């Protein structure tokens, strides 16, 4: 079976429910994945919106996810370091943890890519890293990746 990422909260290419966006509770959706490729030591997750007006917008960075983990629960704690050693980075809202879809009202539908990377080493990266830091640290160590894409269009402003 190929390495794959899914969520009980939305299917691939479907609309992300309001509760996982800035118009709702702004909590992270549940993420579940299959057994990783051989040689996997840990995982990293990057969530981004390539359709943002200012260019690619990062919504969530999680890394040092232990190899035995297969799920990130819904409403994942917004902490720099969790008890199992999982680290979270800085999103483009300037915060640690998940920041849900929040495109400008009337900007049309945006795509949100949840990409899980299987890594064959434990990368050397402190908590609070940004996407560029993470991508550089992972370079040459990615043994597999799985992507889930959701959509969201904001129709009203706060």
Q: Tell me the per-residue pLDDT of 100-114, one tens digit each, with 9 for 90 and over.
A: 999 999 899 999 999
| Of residues 19, 42, 43, 44, the one with CA closest to residue 30 | 19
- Provide the terminal-to-terminal Cα distance of the chain, rounded to the nearest Å: 43
Domain ranges across the chain: 5-145
> What is the sign of the dihedral through the CA atoms of 121, 124, 128 and 132?
negative
DSSP 100: -
Domain covering 5-145 in this structure, CATH number: 3.90.280.10
DSSP-derived 3-state class of residue 68: coil
pLDDT, tens digit, for every residue of 114-131?
999 999 999 999 999 999
> Confidence band (pLDDT; 50, 70, 90) for 155?
confident
pTM: 0.95
């Amino acid at each position: 079976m190929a390495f794959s990422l899914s969520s009980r909260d939305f299917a691939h290419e479907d609309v992300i429910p309001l509760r996982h966006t800035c118009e709702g509770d702004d909590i992270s959706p549940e993420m579940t994945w299959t057994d990783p490729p051989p040689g996997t030591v840990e995982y990293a997750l990057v969530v981004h919106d390539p359709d943002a007006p200012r260019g690619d917008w990062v919504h969530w960075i999680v890394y040092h996810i232990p190899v035995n983990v297969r799920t990130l629960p819904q409403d994942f704690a917004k902490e720099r370091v969790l008890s199992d050693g999982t680290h979270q980075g800085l999103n483009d809202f300037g915060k640690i943890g998940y920041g849900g879809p929040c495109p400008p009202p009337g900007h049309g539908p945006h795509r949100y890519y949840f990409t899980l990377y299987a890594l064959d080493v434990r990368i050397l990266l402190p908590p609070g890293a940004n996407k560029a830091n993470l991508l550089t640290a992972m370079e040459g160590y990615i043994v597999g990746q799985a992507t889930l894409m959701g959509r969201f269009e904001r129709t009203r402003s706060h």
